[in-house]
Amino acid sequence: MKTKYINWLIYAVLMVVVVTWLGWGKPNKIIGMFFVSGLAVGSLYALGGIGLVVLFRATGVLNFANGAAGAAGVMTAWQLGQWGVWAPLTWAACILVALLISLFYGRMVAPLLAWREPVVKAVATLGFALIILGLVSFLWVDDPRSISLPTDKIGIKHLGLRVTATWMIVFLSTIGLVIAIYLFLGQTKIGLNMRSLANDRDLSALIGIPILKVETIAWGLSGLIAGFTGLMFGDLIRLEPTVITFMVIPSIAAAICGRLDNLMVVLVGGLSMGVIESLLTLSPVLKGARPIAPFVIASLVLLWSQRGTQLTFGGRD
């Protein structure tokens, strides 16, 4: 317990040092703008990481197709918007499409690979992601597009910095989701079944846990999160299928920070990655390192948290 508090203290000090260093000599308004923007992007990384962790803890599958499902969903929402469909229905369609894609893989493909090695399962989802990306790219050629939400026009100003309601929704949703999933996994029968299934699939089957039902719920939760994340990413960052598909990469880095198990560390890791990646833009020398920032952070967190012990994932010591 004492070590954990020391680790959090070291993290806080390092974040203050890094933010101060990257923002040194810049106006406070500029620093605040990039910091808030980084929190929004980091929230999306954390959301993606949370979806990956929920699924991994229940099925043992590291799903590289999460971003592709979100990309297909948000492109569907954009297309429906172009056809004049009522906006709330387009948002619902985004989440529904991502949900259906996730459930399709979870029920039709994943069970066939249930007894294969984790690497095989992960590579299979990568192939599925490329198939989805290919179909999406075929349906929607690479043209500049944008999608907006009514919350983009609502915001507050503080110290000359405008924070939109969309940014706040993403940030608060991420925190709320961490709390909700933590309670779900620890306090509900389905959540406990997920944890049992993650620990030992064979034993779970022997004691009567409905494996397909539990795994379907896990894939469904992952799809819902992917749809919401894709919609927010398309609005806040960039509406481009390839970019949204490979958003899963920094999300995986955030999930790895928590060893595919600790949701709170996934949240903090994702937010930190977003903030540091955003502030690196202020450095003429280091701004080229932005794409690798999430992986450097994840590597440092793992090296520090696993010092003197064997490196493990998913809480399996």
Give DSSP secondary structure letters for 138-164: HHS-S-------GGGG-EEEETTEEEE
Question: Over 50: is that where the pLDDT of 317 sits?
Answer: no
Residue 164, φ and ψ in degrees, nearest 5? -80, 160
Question: Over 80: is that where the pLDDT of 310 sits?
Answer: no
Mean pLDDT of 62-82: 94
The amino acid that residue 288 corresponds to is G
- The residue with tokens 């397909």 is 212
Quote the pTM value. Answer: 0.86
Q: What is the pLDDT of residues 228-275, one digit of tens each?
A: 999 999 998 888 888 888 888 888 888 888 878 888 888 988 898 888
What pLDDT shows up at residue 30? 80
Q: What is the pLDDT of residues 48-66, one digit of tens each?
A: 999 999 899 888 889 999 9
* 65: nearest Cα among 261, 298, 222, 253: 222
